[in-house]
């Protein structure tokens, strides 16, 4: 099963030697998928509290991968299980809770904007701990993209209050965790198939959360009596299946075949998609949004320099 899934993924998205065009196309697809995550979280939060949205998202992901985890049990390299659990917590589980709590107080588009800090943390941690080559132009590109995000955040807070700004710190912490997990996958787990990384990182962290959700919260009660609850579950299911499960498999493969820094660049394009959905959902956009977009995209270009 692992060999079939791995060959299929590589044949569709990653040829033997990944081309520059394929890498950027994959990055664009991921930006569309993950950029939509923030509005889906917002829809889930309209019915369920943050801890239940995060638990359902990760619990569904774990259940989807559970059959594959059982099939791969004997083939899995258990000497790396600590790294897999760390990746699951840093790249998915903890950020899921941080984003859900933050978006109770800030808009979905603002969450997407703050998430663009991820490449900066990926670069910083990569240089400090993962032997990432130092390059001034690359650093300038990351800082420029960060400046675009800062422009959007500060001016947006002045003209359009987005709730309590301190809650945005949770998204900053999530971006730091994303940067850490990305570096671990790109360096410490480089030889492990991306599908297997996804199977166990989600299975080992997600299944316990589903048990917690069903057995220790009032999730089933809300589901049975709250209007719109099943529709909210549908949003979270799509978030789990496409934005979490499928996108993570693609992302892990991408950073293994390119680099952690390149893969993290998806966080620079995600705000554009998040702002689009926010606008369609009634969130007001201003000129500062477009100025920030330009800085972010130019920063993506410069950050690819060596």
Residue 17 pLDDT class (50, 70, 90 cuts): low
Provide the percentage of residues in the chain whose pLDDT is more than 70: 88
pTM: 0.84
User: What average pLDDT does range 248-263 have in this prediction?
Assistant: 82
Three-state SS letters, 191-203:
CCCHHHHHHHHHH
* CA 89 – CA 118 distance, rounded (Å): 16
Q: Are 271 and 112 in contact (CB under 8 A)?
A: yes
Q: Name the average pLDDT for the chain.
A: 84
What Rg, from alpha-carbon coordinates, does the chain have?
19
Please tell me the predicted confidence (pLDDT) of residue 12: 37
* CA 57 – CA 92 distance, rounded (Å): 10
Q: Say which range, 96-100, 123-127, 277-281, has the weakest mean pLDDT.
A: 123-127
Pick the residue with more confidence: 87 or 168? 87
User: What average pLDDT does range 245-269 have in this prediction?
Assistant: 81
Please tell me the predicted confidence (pLDDT) of residue 66: 93
Q: Where are the domains of the chain?
A: 20-303
The model's pLDDT over 18-46, given as tens digits with 9 standing for 90+, comes to 688 888 899 899 999 999 999 999 999 99
């Amino acid at each position: 099963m692992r060999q079939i899934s791995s060959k299929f993924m590589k044949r569709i998205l990653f040829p033997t030697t990944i081309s520059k065009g394929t890498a950027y196309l994959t990055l664009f697809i991921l930006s569309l998928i993950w950029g939509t995550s923030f509005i889906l979280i917002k829809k889930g939060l309209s019915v369920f509290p943050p801890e239940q949205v995060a638990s359902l998202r990760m619990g569904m992901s774990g259940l989807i991968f559970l059959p594959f985890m059982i099939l791969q049990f004997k083939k899995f390299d258990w000497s790396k299980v600590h790294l897999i659990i760390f990746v699951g917590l840093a790249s998915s589980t903890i950020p899921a809770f941080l984003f859900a709590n933050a978006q109770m107080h800030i808009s979905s588009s603002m969450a997407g904007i703050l998430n663009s800090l991820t490449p900066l943390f990926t670069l910083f941690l990569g240089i400090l701990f993962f032997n990432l080559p130092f390059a001034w132009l690359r650093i300038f590109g990351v800082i420029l993209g960060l400046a675009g995000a800062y422009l959007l955040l500060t001016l947006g807070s002045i003209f359009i209050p987005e709730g309590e700004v301190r809650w945005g710190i949770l998204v900053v912490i999530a971006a730091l965790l994303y940067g850490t997990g990305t570096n671990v996958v790109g360096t410490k787990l480089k030889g492990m198939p991306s599908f297997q990384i996804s199977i166990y990182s989600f299975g080992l962290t997600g299944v316990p959360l589903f048990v917690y959700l069903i057995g220790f919260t009032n999730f089933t009660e809300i589901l049975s009596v709250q209007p719109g609850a099943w529709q909210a579950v549908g949003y979270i299911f799509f978030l789990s299946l496409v934005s979490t499960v499928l996108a993570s498999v693609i992302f892990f493969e991408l950073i293994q075949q390119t680099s952690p820094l390149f893969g993290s660049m998806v966080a620079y394009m995600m705000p554009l998609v998040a702002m689009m959905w926010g606008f369609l959902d009634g969130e007001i956009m201003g000129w500062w949004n477009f100025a920030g977009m330009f800085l972010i995209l130019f920063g993506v270009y410069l950050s690819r320099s060596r």
